[in-house]
């Protein structure tokens, strides 16, 4: 069995603990999560998998149970302890009885204040960045008695870092502010040149900022955010969906972007939703 993000919403809503980051951390952290699969393992003793679409940033994965398998595109990694997962790729996590995972989904990791790491050098694999996980933090998270306690431990840790280094890195301030504005305003047609001018830097400098903090380019980051919002709308309320709401010129423009966002393992699974959209598009043209 495979659960697919956006299309199996009940699974991701009810079989995971999930908590948004406090406002003080929201520029850096989207949310904290933890698997809650005890009942599912009874129903599916041979295990199951969860497929997630590309996103911006990174996820810290902390193993609280037995080893599990993480797949990025077509490459598989056995996760025995912990890892630092680049989220700009299609991802499948293979779960089996005994697995339990705690995760922190970052837009921009505060570790960049202390390590001065350039994330563009580490965008392909899980393990080369595992050293960025603070060992004392790891132990506190693993020994905490509940999901909420783990969230509090991580929150306290990252709040201290942000308070200590606030305003010390221009690239972090610029990138986190752009991501915040893009999410809140939904200005999907803004150009890279316009964004650069707002912060009195060149487009090339903005590109370096995004690569250093998120591992990917400005354009790729914003395009991922745009298509994710569009797919969420399409799958939750197809009747009110229109490609024009997300800055696409026509249906073909949206469909081309959507196909490039999906991989071969998920494209076939979403065909019913694409057919709904295609029918709606025909009706609009008529």
What are 218-256's pLDDT values in tens digits? 999 999 999 999 988 888 888 888 888 998 988 888 888
Residue 278 has pLDDT above 80, yes or no: no
Give pLDDT, residue 94.
95
* Nearest one of 143, 134, 184 to 161, comparing CA atoms: 134
Rounded distance, CA 107 to CA 181, Å?
13
Q: What is the mean pLDDT of residues 111-139?
A: 79
What's the mean pLDDT when you consider all of the chain? 87
List the structure tokens of 198. Answer: 């707002």
- Maximum CA extent, the chain: 62
Q: How far, in Å, CA of 200 to CA of 206, rounded?
A: 10
* Lowest pLDDT segment from 11-20, 82-91, 213-222, 273-282: 273-282
Percent of the chain with pLDDT over 70: 89
pLDDT band at 64 (very low <50, low <70, confident <90, very high): very high
Label the pairing between strands 2-4 and 48-52. Answer: parallel
* Structure tokens belonging to residue 131: 């050293």
Q: pLDDT digit string (tens) for 91-109?
A: 899 999 999 999 999 999 9
Give yes or no for residue 279 having a pLDDT over 60: no
Q: Which of 192, 224, 190 is nearest to 205 (CA)?
A: 192
Distance (Å, rounded) from C-alpha 203 to C-alpha 102? 37
Tell me what pLDDT residue 282 has.
47
Q: Output the pLDDT for position 34.
A: 98
* Residue 125 pLDDT: 64
The average pLDDT across 153-173 equals 92
Residue 280: the pLDDT is: 52
**For position 134, what pLDDT does the model report?**
86
Provide the pLDDT for residue 106: 94
127-131, 239-243, 279-283: which is most confident: 239-243
CATH superfamily of 2-165: Jelly Rolls (2.60.120.10)
Whether residue 264 has pLDDT greater than 90? no
Average pLDDT (202-216) is 94
Domain range list for the chain: 2-165
Beta bridge partners of 48: 95
End-to-end CA, the chain: 39
Task: Name the residue with higher pLDDT: 271 or 82.
Answer: 82
State pLDDT tens for residues 164-175. 998 888 999 999
pLDDT at 137 exceeding the cut of 70: yes
Q: DSSP assignment, residue 167? A: T
């Amino acid at each position: 069995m495979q659960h697919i993000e956006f299309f199996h919403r009940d699974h991701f809503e009810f079989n995971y603990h999930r908590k948004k980051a406090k406002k003080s951390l929201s520029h850096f952290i989207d949310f904290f999560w933890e698997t809650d699969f005890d009942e599912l393992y009874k129903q599916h003793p041979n295990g199951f998998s969860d497929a997630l679409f590309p996103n911006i940033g990174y996820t810290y994965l902390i193993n609280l149970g037995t080893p599990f398998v993480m797949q990025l595109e077509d490459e598989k990694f056995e996760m025995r302890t912990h890892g630092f997962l680049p989220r700009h790729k299609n991802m499948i996590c293979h779960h089996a009885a005994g697995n339990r995972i705690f995760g922190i989904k970052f837009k921009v990791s505060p570790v960049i204040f202390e390590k001065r790491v350039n994330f563009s050098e580490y965008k392909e694999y899980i393990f080369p960045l595992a050293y960025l996980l603070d060992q004392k933090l790891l132990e506190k998270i693993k020994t905490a008695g509940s999901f909420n306690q783990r969230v509090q431990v991580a929150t306290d840790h990252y709040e201290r870092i942000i308070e200590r280094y606030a305003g010390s890195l221009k690239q972090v301030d610029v990138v986190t502010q752009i991501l915040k504005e893009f999410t809140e305003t939904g200005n999907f047609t803004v150009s890279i040149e316009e964004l650069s001018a707002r912060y009195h830097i060149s487009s090339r400098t903005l590109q370096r900022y995004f690569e250093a903090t998120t591992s990917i380019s400005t354009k790729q980051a914003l395009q991922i955010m745009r298509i994710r919002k569009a797919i969420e709308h399409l799958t939750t309320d197809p009747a009110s969906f229109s490609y024009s709401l997300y800055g696409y010129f026509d249906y073909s423009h949206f469909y081309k972007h959507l196909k490039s966002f999906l991989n071969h393992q998920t494209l076939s699974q979403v065909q019913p939703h694409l057919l709904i959209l295609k029918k709606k598009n025909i009706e609009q043209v008529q």
